[in-house]
Structure formats: C-alpha cells, structure tokens
C-alpha cells in the first residue's frame, strides 16, 4: 500500500504542477530541451545520455542546459532504471543517478531545480530502503531492517530540511505581488507546490519507517503518531485541496494501524461524503474505500461496508467498470458479502439476508472472472467455492500412520489432477452445448471441479505434511523422498517457490540416488528461477547464487540426462550476465549439438561475445587516441589480438545458432535479434556480402520480418536498427557491386524510406537522432577496418551513394546525414598527425560542400527543424576549414557570427583554436600566436576585438562553474601557445615565452589546485613536462608546484 503512496505523490505533482521543471529562461535552451525530452519519451535513454555527454563539451550547448546537465543526467538514469529488468544494472543506474544529483547540488545549490534534486535524492533513499526490507524477509533480518531504517531516516532528514528551507523562502517573499510581475508570481506558486509535496513525502516516509521496527513497540507507535500528526497538519492547512483530502485518507490509514479503527472510520466516511466530481475526487473516494474495508471489518460493520461498496460500484462510469481499481473493489465486495453471510449463518442459518449476500458475491465474482485482469484467477477460485454447494460428505478419516497419510495424499493429488483436467476440457464442451439440461449438468460439474481444485490442493498438502510428521526410524527413506517430492511439486503449483526450491534441493543433494532426486532438482531449479524473475529486490545475489549452484550440481550429477541440458541452458545466461564469458562457452560446449536447446544457447552466447567485443574495441580506440588513459599492466597490441579472437568466436557462435534455429523453423524475438546481431557483425567485419542474404532471407531475414510487421520485431527500436543495418550493408557493397550498383542504391534508398516510416509521428527530433547515430555507425564501421586498401574501397561505395542521395534530396535530415557521414569518413582517415591524406581532404571538402548547401536552404522559412541548427552547421564548416588548413576562411566565417553576438562561447573557443593552429602551420608567421592569445578582428563600432583569444577567454570564464571546462581549455592553451611560440623563437624571446608558458600553469595551479580534475590535470602535467624539458629542468610536471607549496 505504501508503494502506491509514492505513485500517488507523483500523480499529485502532475495535478499541482511539477516540481521538476526544465529551466525556461532563454530561448536558446528550448530546442535542446525538446530534443532531450523527445529522446527520453521515446525510450532512447542511452542516446539521451550520449546527447548530454556531448552537450557537456559542445560549444553549441546553451548555458542554461550546461548548468543542469548533472540534474538531467540523474533524471535520465532514473527513468531508464524504471524499465531496466536487470537488477544489477538498475542498482548501478540508481547509484549513478544519486551521484549526478549530488554533483548538481554541490555545484548549483541555489538553482531553481535544487529543490527537485533534493526531493529526488530522498526518493532514491526510500527505494533503497524498500530493497532492504525485501531482503530482510530472506536473511539477516535485523541487519537489513536496521539498514532500511537508516535509509528512511536519511530520506526523512532530506524532506524535513527541504520543507524548512522552502517555508523560510516563502516567508521572505512579499504576500502581495503586482499582476504584471509574472516571474515573481510563478516563483511563489512553484515554491508553494514544492512545499506541499515535500510535506506529503515527509509524512509518508515516517509512516513507512514503522515497517522497520517491531509492530506494536513504543518506537512503532511513535513513528506512526509522528506520521499521523504530520498528515493532520497537512489536512488542516489544505482541506479544500485534493492534496489535503489525500492527507486525510493517509491519516486514517495511520490511525487504523495504531488500532483506532473508529477514528479511522470517521475520517474515511468524511472523505466518502465528498462530491463525486471532478475525477480527482473519484480517485480519492475509490482509494478510501480500499483502506476503509479493514476498519469496518474490525468493528464488525459489514452491513455499512457492503452498503458503501455497493453504492460506489453502482456509480461506476462505463470507462471505469473494468479498470483494475474497480475490479479490486468488486473482489472486496464479494469477500465482504461472503464473510457477512457466514456471520449471519452462525447466528441464524435461516436468516433471510444470507441468500442475497451470496447472490451479490456471485454477481461480483462473475464480473471479475469474466474479463482478463490480475484478479481473474482469484475470482474464479472464489466463485468455485461459492457456487460449489454444500461440502462433500465423503470425508476421509484422519490418517494416524505415515503410510495412511501418504496414501491419502496421493489419492487427493489424483483428484486434484483430475479436477484440473476437467477445467481444461469442460469449458469448451459447455460453450458448444445447446441442450439446457445437459448444459446445466456440465455447469454443475465445472463448478464442482473448480471447488475441487482448491480443496484438493489444500488437502493434499495437509496429508503429505502429516505423513512427514508421522514418519519414524522405520519409515523407508525412498518413501520419505517421494513424499517430499510431492510436497515440493504442490508448493510450486501454488507459487510457494521458496519452499518448493528448498525442499527440492534438499532431496536432490541429500539423496541423489533416489528416484525422486532428478525431478526434485528440476523443481528446485525452476522455483529459484521463478524467485529470481519475481523478485523486486535490486540485489538478487541470493537467487542468482542458488540458480547457479543447483544447475551446476545437476550438470555434474546427471550429465547424461535431459535435465542436465536444461540446467546448462539455464546456467549460460547467468554466466553471461556476470561477465564470465569463458565459463559460458564451456557450458555451451557441454550441450549436445543435437539438443533442441543448443541453438538458443548459441544465440545468447554469441550476442554477449559480440557486445563484449564492441566495448573492448571502444576502449582500445580511446587508449590509442590518448595514451595516458591506458590502464596499468595493459598491452594494447595484445588486447587487440584478444579482441580479434573474441570477434571470430562471436561470429561463429552466432552463425551456428542462427543456422540451427533456421533448421528448427522457430521465429521469435530472440531469433530475430540474433539474426540482426549477426548481420551487424558481418557488416562491421567487411562481410557485407554475407549480411545481405541474412537480412533478405524470405523467412528469417529481419528486413523481411520488419516489412511483414512480424511480432518478433515489435521490440522498441528494432525496425530502425534493421533499416540502419540494411543501409550500411548495401552501401558497403557498392565498392564491389559492378553492374549491380544501381540495384543496391535503390535498395539503400528504400532503407532510408523505411527509417523515416519507422519513426512515424514521433517527430523530427527522433529522426535527426537516428540519422546522427547512423552517421556514427558508418564512421565506426570505417574505423574497424584495419586494411587501408579495404577502407579506401569501402569509402568509394559510401561516396557513390552519398552523392546520389545528396543530388536527389531536399530534406534537412537527409542532407545533414550526408554531411555528417562525409565528415565521419574524413575523420576515419584522419590520423590527427602529419599531413592530411587525399581521402581526408576530399571527404572534408564533400562535408563542407554539403553543409554549404544546407546553409543556402536555411533561409527558407520552416526548412530547418530547429533554428539552432544553423549555428551548429556554421561551426562545423569553420572546424572543417581549420582542419584542412583554410584558416582565413574559418576565421572569416567565425567573425561573421561574432558580429551578431560576440558572447557565443563556443564560437570564441573555435576562433582561438583556429588562430593557434594557424600559427602552428610552418607557412604562417609565428606572430599569429599573439592573435591566438590576445585576440583579433576589431569591431568597427566599439573598437573592441571581436575574437577574444585565450587570455580573455580565461578571464571571462574564471570562477564560473558552468564554464569550468572552457576555463581550463583556455588556461591550458595559453601555456601551449607560449610553448609552441617559443619553439619557433630564439634567444631571449624563446626564454621569455617558455617562462610565460610555465607561469601560466603555475598561476593556474596556485589558484585552482585541482587543475580541472581527471580531464584536465594530466594534460597540464604533460604540457608542463614539455616546458621543463625545453628549459633544461628536471621533468617532474605538476609535482614541482605541489612541492613548492608544501615547503611554504
């Protein structure tokens, strides 16, 4: 019930106005916000995180967005965790979310989103506390509950402090605001909403903390009394608002927990007397009824409870009748009616109210049982009991020996299985029958079977438990194990998975030679799997260890039996999840190639191997780009060899699995995903000729399945990934297509149409994101190619298609993708060192030309999806011109932007960088370094320099947390510019410039000892070592200044 409070609190936030609002100041941030929201709403959380990472270093990112990057990263992680099934990943996401919110608060304590971040930190703590409570039910109860209490107390402290802070801020604000002061009015309203919400959370967490202490204890009572008081205060202050009514309802719940049922009933009745409209009132009344039922029961007020339930259910609107809340109300009314009829029957078996009560119960149960819902099975069981007539008189005598109890149990188990079979067969006969009498008899049998299922299971359990109680030293051990097997089976059928797992494993391990041992082991394995899948606990270590333990035991104890294959197929996913890929492969080899499960296991293992390869290669590329990031003890060349072997194994394992599943003929989500993964492997390993048949296979091809809208492709994002892979495969094949080139280009064009269709009505933002990710995929595809000749050949295919598309399209998304892809191709050839290759220059030029086309069309109203894209493209053109040595053109374009607004930080950074690289060109005058440092291009009106240069950039960004990266980039490049300038100087000039370079870093180190953290400090250190070397000093890097400071 308490979990629902926090869901309700979230709904209240929507009603009152959300505490969590993206900053709205400044028009520039709106497109960025819309883009980010579009990604998250579409479920592209990874892409949203990537977008935020890029914005952190992007010169285009609005300042308002950079200020809240940590907050938005936290919110993105929280949203992603809600759809994450892997609890380990979910735990990691919550940890990262907490770190993000902490970081945001440490930097932005006074930001308008600070209150929202604090509230989210409290909510994260509450979720972690619930995990500990669930864990306490399995082991280490006292310890886990203590940890939960500490977490709840920490959350309560956060909510209390936030409440006090909000109240203090509200008290300082004027009570009367001019109508024209919109900003002030909005601020006050926001603070009031935040203040109300945090009061509700404070009261709720106090109530929930009571779950961590002994029920009925003094501490338990105090916690509930505190919560009751807080709810009462909220109600008194907000009794005319929906939030106040919720507070009253929760006050009733707490009062009821304290044993004051009459007081609770008075609160509930007060709420039930509220109007039925608007909808928010209906929600309150529905929830109140659910809470009130136990209070009425405890006071024996069945008639009043039934009257209230009947009245409210009778007022259900057509759209409410079958919703989960009303189905639950109907079940409650049915149970109330049954219980009341039983009470009346005890007092007077002939009471005239008994029949109407049972009729009411049947009516409600029939309704719930009729429609699919979570309570349908419960309703059917209860209906069978109600409609089963009087109890059967052929009761067995109570067993007095082990043998009697065992026989009674087996007989009853047989009756249970017969009744279950009747339930499977009889409904179809009943539906076809037209004779009224026969139909009535069939219905009677069906009702009896339903009742029998419930009673027989209960009786069988009772008899088998009795048998164990009656066992003695003379009882045969085999008979004991058979009884234990039946008990484990029955526990499993009624979803008591923990008991069935423990009992099954006991027999399997203690008596492996028993005829029941293998079946008991299988029951244990399946039950542990059920516990794992059903657990809401973020830490599933217990379930995971038990699954691995029992499966490993089965494979070793009965290696030649079918159960061993099932166990191996169960083990493999857990090994993969734990990152133990070698062990997963070892288990895979133990599954016979003829076993039906072998193919599925190969698919899962192959996908895991490929994912590991992709991650490993990303690490290697990062290490090559920056040698300072290579972990200690890692040899990059050796790691590349390991990854190449991993790639080969991934491809082979997936290919074997796909081939096996094709023979079986089954197509499901796992098979479709594996086929797509294998196609992607072929594309990324220069085997597009193998990928295309796989994509186009008339039965298993993912493109075939996507076009047919096969259920196996319903997974979010699957269609777009299939079309992207198809496009990459067709483009990669153009280099060797010969006469088939036009056909491949047509197919590639169809893939682009498919991509657009797969997005549907979700908007331009998602389509832009898809094309950008496609451009990056193509770039990565090029980078994965080790052979220069193969890379050149593939680039020609890309070039052919991109030019064709560019000539035929007028859409921004397509042209921008062409430009981005050409730029990515150039970067794939660009080593970053020495002279640019012919391919690098050519593809940078193609990208620049395409960007120019976009800029020419940008003036057409509505052509650009977002106005900010123009500035982004202008910067891309300038960056390309800088990279290919067209420094004058780059500076001219940047100057044109700065004439309109010289405060665009990203443009200023790009301009300073351009001058620095220009100065470093051997053909340039070294005095250009002075322009990089001190700025250039005077404004005709003000006389000030339009381009600031590194020195002014460092001053403008100093002591501003949101510009920390820009500041350190500027300070570092001041030192580097002087160093590079010195290297092209002689004599006293060289000495002076080296001294200035060193002082620049020394000055930064003294004022900012952290030196920008992990990102910038190693770069400062490396640059200082180069300066020290040129000065003829000992190369100790930043240690020189640290030692000087320590020495006083």
Q: Tell me the C-alpha distance between 165 and 619, whole Å.
A: 45
Is the pLDDT score of 599 beyond 90?
no
Is the pLDDT score of 350 beyond 70?
yes
Is the pLDDT score of 17 beyond 70?
no
Q: Tell me the C-alpha distance between 979 and 997, whole Å.
A: 6
53-74 per-position pLDDT tens digit: 888 877 767 777 888 899 999 9
Put residue 918 in one of left, alpha, beta given phi > 0 → left and psi -120 to 50 → alpha.
alpha
Residue 98's pLDDT is: 86
Average pLDDT for 747-764: 74
491-523 per-position pLDDT tens digit: 999 889 999 999 999 999 999 888 888 899 999
Is the pLDDT score of 16 beyond 60?
no
Number of Cβ atoms within 10 Å of the Cβ of 767? 23
Is the pLDDT score of 13 beyond 50?
no
Best CA proximity match to 461, nearest among 489, 432, 419, 423: 489
- C-alpha neighbours within 13 Å on the C-beta side of residue 419: 21
Helix axes 788-808, 838-857, angle to 10 degrees: 20
Residue 514's pLDDT is: 87
Dihedral angle, C-alpha 747, 753, 757, 758, nearest 10 °? 50
- The pair of structure tokens assigned to 965 is 């990266």
Banded pLDDT at 15 (limits 50, 70, 90): very low
Sign of the Cα pseudo-torsion (170, 174, 176, 181, in order): negative
Q: Which long-range contacts (CB under 8 A, 24 or more apart) does 437-444 make?
A: none
Is the pLDDT score of 90 beyond 70?
no
Residue 263's pLDDT is: 93
Instruction: Name the residue ranges covered by the structural domains of the chain.
Output: 28-111, 763-884, 962-1046
Best CA proximity match to 533, nearest among 573, 503, 563: 573
Between residues 808 and 25, which one has the greater pLDDT?
808
**Burial track 970-1006 (b if 16+ CB lie within 10 A, e otherwise):** bbbbbbbbbbbbbebbeeeebeebbebbbebbbebbe
For the chain, the average pLDDT equals: 83
Residue 752's pLDDT is: 80
Reduce the secondary structure of 709-762 to three states and give it as a string.
CCHHHCCCCHHHHHHHHHHHHHHHHHHHCHHHHHHHHHHHHHHHHHHHHHHHHH
Residues sharing a CB contact under 8 Å with residue 959, sequence separation 6 or more, in sequence order = none
773-810 per-position pLDDT tens digit: 666 776 776 766 667 777 787 777 778 777 877 887 78
Percent of the chain at pLDDT > 90 equals 28
Strand partners of residue 936: 947
706-754 per-position pLDDT tens digit: 998 898 888 888 888 898 888 888 877 876 767 777 788 788 888 888 8
Q: Tell me the C-alpha distance between 823 and 395, whole Å.
A: 84
623-669 per-position pLDDT tens digit: 776 676 677 778 888 888 888 888 888 888 888 888 888 777 778 88
Strand partners of residue 938: 945
Lowest mean pLDDT among 238-252, 380-394, 570-584, 736-750: 380-394
Q: Tell me the C-alpha distance between 632 and 343, whole Å.
A: 76
Q: Tell me the C-alpha distance between 430 and 440, whole Å.
A: 9
127-152 per-position pLDDT tens digit: 778 878 877 887 788 998 999 999 99
Best CA proximity match to 450, nearest among 322, 373, 362, 349: 362
Put residue 455 in one of left, alpha, beta given phi > 0 → left and psi -120 to 50 → alpha.
alpha
Q: Tell me the C-alpha distance between 76 and 312, whole Å.
A: 40
Please say whether the beta carbons of 461 and 483 come within 8 A: no
Q: Are strands 945-947 and 936-938 parallel, antiparallel or unpaired?
A: antiparallel
Residue 235's pLDDT is: 92
Phi and psi angles of residue 201, each rounded to the nearest 5 degrees, phi first = -65, -40
């Amino acid at each position: 019930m308490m979990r629902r409070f926090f869901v309700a609190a979230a709904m209240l936030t929507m009603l009152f106005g959300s505490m969590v609002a993206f900053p709205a100041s400044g028009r520039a941030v709106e497109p960025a916000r819309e883009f980010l929201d579009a990604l998250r709403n579409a479920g592209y959380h990874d892409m949203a995180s990537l977008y935020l990472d890029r914005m952190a270093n992007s010169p285009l990112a609005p300042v308002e967005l950079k200020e809240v990057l940590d907050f938005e990263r936290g919110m993105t992680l929280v949203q992603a965790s809600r759809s994450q099934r892997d609890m380990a990943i979910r735990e990691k996401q919550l940890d990262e979310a907490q770190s993000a919110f902490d970081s945001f608060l440490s930097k932005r304590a006074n930001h308008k989103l600070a209150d929202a971040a604090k509230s989210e930190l409290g909510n994260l703590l509450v979720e972690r506390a619930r995990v500990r409570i669930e864990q306490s039910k399995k082991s280490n109860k006292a310890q886990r509950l203590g940890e939960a209490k500490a977490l709840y107390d920490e959350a309560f402290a956060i909510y209390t402090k936030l409440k006090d802070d909000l109240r203090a801020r509200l008290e300082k604000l004027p009570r009367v605001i001019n109508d024209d002061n919109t900003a002030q009015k909005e601020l006050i309203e926001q603070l009031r909403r935040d203040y109300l919400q945090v009061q509700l959370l404070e009261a709720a967490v106090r109530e929930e903390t009571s779950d961590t202490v002994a029920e009925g204890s003094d501490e338990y009572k105090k916690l509930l009394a505190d919560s009751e008081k807080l709810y009462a205060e909220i109600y008194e202050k907000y009794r005319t608002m929906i939030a106040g009514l919720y507070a009253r309802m929760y006050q009733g719940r707490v009062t009821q927990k304290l044993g004051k049922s009459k007081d609770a009933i008075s609160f509930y009745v007060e709420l039930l007397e509220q109007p039925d409209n608007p909808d928010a009132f209906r929600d309150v009344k529905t929830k109140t009824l659910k809470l009130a039922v136990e209070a009425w029961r405890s006071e024996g007020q069945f008639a009043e409870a039934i009257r209230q339930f009947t009245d409210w259910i009778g007022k259900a609107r057509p759209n409410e009748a079958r919703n989960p809340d009303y189905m639950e109300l109907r079940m409650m009314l049915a149970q109330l009616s049954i219980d009341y009829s039983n009470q009346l029957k005890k007092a007077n078996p002939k009471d005239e109210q008994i029949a109407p009560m049972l009729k009411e119960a049947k009516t409600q149960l029939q309704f719930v049982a009729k429609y699919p819902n979570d309570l349908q099975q419960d309703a059917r069981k209860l209906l069978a009991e109600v409609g089963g007539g009087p109890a059967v008189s052929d009761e067995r005598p109570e067993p007095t020996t082990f043998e009697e109890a065992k026989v009674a149990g087996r007989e009853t188990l047989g009756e249970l299985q017969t009744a279950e079979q009747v339930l499977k067969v009889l409904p179809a006969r009943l539906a076809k029958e037209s004779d009224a009498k026969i139909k009535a008899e069939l219905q009677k049998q069906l009702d009896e079977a339903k009742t029998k299922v419930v009673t027989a299971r209960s009786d069988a359990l009772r008899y088998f438990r009795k048998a164990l109680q009656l066992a003695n030293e003379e009882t045969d051990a085999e008979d004991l194990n058979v009884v234990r097997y039946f008990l484990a089976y029955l526990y499993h059928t009624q979803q008591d998975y923990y008991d069935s797992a423990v009992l099954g494993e006991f027999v399997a391990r203690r008596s492996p030679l028993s005829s029941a041992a293998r079946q008991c082991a299988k029951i244990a394995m399946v039950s542990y799997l059920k516990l794992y899948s059903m657990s809401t606990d973020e830490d599933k270590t217990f379930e995971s260890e038990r699954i691995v333990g029992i499966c490993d035991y089965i494979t070793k104890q009965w290696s030649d039996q079918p159960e061993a294959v099932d166990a191996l197929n169960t083990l493999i996913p857990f090994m993969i999840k734990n990152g133990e890929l070698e062990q997963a492969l070892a288990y895979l080899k133990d599954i016979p190639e003829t076993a039906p499960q072998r193919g599925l296991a190969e698919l899962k293992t192959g996908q895991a191997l490929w994912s590991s390869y992709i991650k490993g290669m990303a690490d290697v590329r990062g290490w090559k780009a920056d040698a300072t990031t290579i972990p200690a003890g890692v040899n990059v060349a050796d790691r590349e060899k390991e990854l190449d072997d991993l790639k080969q194994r991934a491809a082979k394992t997936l290919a074997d699995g796909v081939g096996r599943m094709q023979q079986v003929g089954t197509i499901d989500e796992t098979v479709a995903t594996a086929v797509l993964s294998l196609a992607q492997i072929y594309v990324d390993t220069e085997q597009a000729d193998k990928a295309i048949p796989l994509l186009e296979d008339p039965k298993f091809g993912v493109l075939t399945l996507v076009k047919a809208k096969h259920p196996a492709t319903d997974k979010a994002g699957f269609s777009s990934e299939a079309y992207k892979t198809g496009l990459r495969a067709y483009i990669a094949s153009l280099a060797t297509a010969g006469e088939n080139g036009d056909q491949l280009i047509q197919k590639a064009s169809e893939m682009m149409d498919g991509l657009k269709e797969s997005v549907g009505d979700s908007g331009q933002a998602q389509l832009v994101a898809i094309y950008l990710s496609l451009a990056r995929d193509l770039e990565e595809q090029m980078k994965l190619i080790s052979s220069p000749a193969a890379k050149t050949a593939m680039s020609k295919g890309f070039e052919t298609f991109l030019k064709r598309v560019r000539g035929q399209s007028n859409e921004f998304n397509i042209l921008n993708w062409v430009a981005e892809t050409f730029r990515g191709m150039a970067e794939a050839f660009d080593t970053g060192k020495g002279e640019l290759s012919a391919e690098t220059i050519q593809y940078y030029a193609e990208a620049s030309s395409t960007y120019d086309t976009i800029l020419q069309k940008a003036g057409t109203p509505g052509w650009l999806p977002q106005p900010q894209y123009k500035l982004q493209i202008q910067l891309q053109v300038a960056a390309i011109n800088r990279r290919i040595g067209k420094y004058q053109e780059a500076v001219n374009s940047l100057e044109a932007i700065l004439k309109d607004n010289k405060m665009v930080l990203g443009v200023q950074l790009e301009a300073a960088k351009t001058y620095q690289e220009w100065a470093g060109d051997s053909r340039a005058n070294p005095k250009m370094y002075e322009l990089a440092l001190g700025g250039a291009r005077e404004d005709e009106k003000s006389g000030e320099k339009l381009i600031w240069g590194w020195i002014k950039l460092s001053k403008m960004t100093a002591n501003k947390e949101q510009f920390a990266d820009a500041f350190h980039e500027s300070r570092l490049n001041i030192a580097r510019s002087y160093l590079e300038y010195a290297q092209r100087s002689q004599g006293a000039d060289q000495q002076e410039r080296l001294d200035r370079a060193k002082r620049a870093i020394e000055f930064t180190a003294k004022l900012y000892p952290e030196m920008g953290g992990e990102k910038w400090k190693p770069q400062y250190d490396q640059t200082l070592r180069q300066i020290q070397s040129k000065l003829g000093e000992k190369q100790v890097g930043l240690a020189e200044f640290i030692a000087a400071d320590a020495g006083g």
